Structure 1
Amino acid sequence: MHKRDYIELLGENIYYEALEVAKKKKPISILFVHGFNSSSAIIKKMIEHVETLYEQKQRHNFNIFALDLPGCGKSSNNNEISLEFYGKIVSEFIKKFLSNHKVILLSHSMGSVPCLYAKKENKNVIDLIMTAPLNYALVDDENRYAQLKKWLVPSNVEDAKEAFLSLFYKPSNQHIMYVDRLAPMVVNNYQRDIKKFDNLLNNQILNREYLLNVVKPLFMNDDEYAIIYSRDDKYLMVEQIKMIERDKDVKTYLLTECGHATFSDKWKEVYNIVIQRINELENEAK
């Protein structure tokens, strides 16, 4: 039922997890796509929750899949990393695994842009729910640009600690203790990560021209999607989401007391929004 395995996609060995509990012939399946230099592990609590409900014999009408993008988690890194390549990986995963499923893409942060690519390429993707999404207004403010450049690949222990603790609305004692072990490891990997993510970070995520010319059209296409965000996110500003709302008619959900680490601070609220969206889609199909 809860499967952990690897699959070869576009020259990469991709780690994924699959929890298949839906019994329909053409089931609804959530595919989770993580953010920058993260992994599928951040959706662990939601997967465990769905698994517990199933074991308690409570009806559950969707599966959950999650993957590690190239260069992240347990997956390989044999190609230059880019948002376009990540989009192709997500799209290929859908074609290989979920071609007979009704797919809902659930993304966090940077993972939202690859999902926008994949939604265009796969007609069986019926919804996209983006949490704290990378967006075309991300670095409109020069101070935000400088802050994100310092946080995304920190070069010293102080910046690494600040970057990690700033992910949360209110860091727990466990977070504070963990950061003392994490920060030196992050800094030790600085040269590796700055090289690995150079194109993705400097030519794309932090490149205002790229965001406006390439990412904005993805947000402005005719497909529907939803955005989950928080006023307390230190990585993504509320003004960015408001700009998207002005540019396009989009459904948004505002979380309170939640940092950028949405699936740590408020995973239950995200889960409830997913359930709500699924119920709405099923009612529309009747």
Structure 2
Amino acid sequence: MDKKFIKIFDEEVFYVEENTGKEKVLFLHGFNSSHNFAQQLYLLKNRNYDVVAIDFPGCGKSSANSEITIEYYQKIAQEFVKQINYNFKLVVGHSLGGASALYLLNSKMVNYALLAAPINYNILSAKLDETTEKLKRWLIPSNLNDAIESSENLVFNNKNGYKENLNKIATMFLKITKFKERNFLKLVTNQIINPNYLKKEIKKLYTQSNNYEFIIGINDMFVPFMSVAKIANDLNKNLSAISNCGHAIFFEKPEQVNEKINKLISSL
């Protein structure tokens, strides 16, 4: 993959892209992640598409020169598509990246969106106070125990010895999060775990377009499966449920996600 930077507003945004002549698919990562979130999928040989994936500001190799909000990420994604000038038929948004994927869809910058365990307006529906407190600890851990709990609940399977390396993974996660906390604290408290914001701003994203569907692990502890299933049922959207899979869907079940993307690409 080619590795590049692009100037968007006052940011240096890092991205990767393939150029094998296949249909290009845009990948948008989740909270405090990077373009590498789908690395296990990128490594698959039977993909019928080229990958284009960015690092949002404050993540990966991109700069963080402005206040980070969901709206800022949405504008970054929109400007990226404008500048790179590819005709993306499909955008794949994971977790927080789902908000930007829907924004691109609603702005008619892409034709269709696959939302993988996306942020949604139902994620706090069960035991509001308890869920809000848990998500805040998991997204911005204040100590190693929180980081271990967060990292452990990110996956369902012990793939590639993940759980044997949990302490090392959590220690690195805590270190990175502490360094970036000033960038992400308002994003988490004012938006991601703010029920009023979710019910107003995030819900609007879901009701503006019909051209999206869901894929999610049944055992997801960050974005509850039922929070997505309810939207799929209420708004008559297709939902692909993957058993024995947590929030790290691209790490745990890349083959199933790739199969879904291949099918969508062939039908668009």
Q: Which residue is 1:10 aligned to?
A: 9
Equivalent residue in structure 1 for 2:217, among 230, 235, 244: 230
SS of equivalent to 1:38: coil
- C-alpha distance after superposition, 1:120-163 (max 9, x if no partner): 2244x111001111101111232222211111111111110111
- TM-score, normalising length from structure 2? 0.93
Contact in 2 for aligned 1:19/1:47 (Cα 8 Å) = no
SS of equivalent to 1:102: coil
SS of equivalent to 1:234: coil
Aligned AA for 1:107? G
* 1:1-286 → structure 2 map (5 Å cutoff): 2-22=1-21, 28-49=23-44, 52=45, 61-99=48-86, 101-123=87-109, 125-141=110-126, 142=128, 143-172=130-159, 174-281=161-268
Tell me how far apart the structure 2 counterparts of residues 69 and 147 of structure 1 sit (CA, whole Å): 24
Provide the identity percentage: 30
Aligned AA for 1:46? L
Structure 1 stretches of 5 or more lacking a match? Answer: 54-59, 282-286
Tell me how far apart the structure 2 counterparts of residues 102 and 5 of structure 1 sit (CA, whole Å): 18
* Range moving further from structure 2, 174-183 or 109-118: 174-183
Structure 1 position 190, deviation (Å):
4.7
Aligned AA for 1:257? N
Structure 1 position 191, deviation (Å):
4.3
* Range moving further from structure 2, 194-203 or 63-72: 194-203
Contact in 1 for aligned 2:159/2:252 (Cα 8 Å) = no
Which structure's relative contact order is higher, taking Cα pairs within 8 Å and 6+ residues apart? 2
* Range moving further from structure 2, 237-246 or 212-221: 237-246
Tell me how far apart the structure 2 counterparts of residues 147 and 161 of structure 1 sit (CA, whole Å): 13
Aligned AA for 1:44? Q
SS of equivalent to 1:275: helix
Tell me how far apart the structure 2 counterparts of residues 223 and 173 of structure 1 sit (CA, whole Å): 37
Structure 1 position 177, deviation (Å):
3.7
Structure 1 position 204, deviation (Å):
0.5
Q: Which residue is 1:284 aligned to?
A: none
- C-alpha distance after superposition, 1:179-225 (max 9, x if no partner): 22232333344543332112210110000000111010110113310
Q: Hey, which bits of structure 1, 4+ residues long, moved more than 6 A?
A: none
SS of equivalent to 1:197: helix
- TM-score, normalising length from structure 1? 0.87
Contact in 2 for aligned 1:220/1:247 (Cα 8 Å) = no
Structure 1 position 3, deviation (Å):
0.4
Aligned AA for 1:275? N
Aligned AA for 1:43? A
Larger radius of gyration: 1
Tell me how far apart the structure 1 counterparts of residues 35 and 6 of structure 2 sit (CA, whole Å): 15
How large is the RMSD of aligned CA atoms in angstroms?
1.7
Aligned AA for 1:102? F
SS of equivalent to 2:43: helix
Aligned AA for 1:5? K
Tell me how far apart the structure 1 counterparts of residues 260 and 248 of structure 2 sit (CA, whole Å): 16
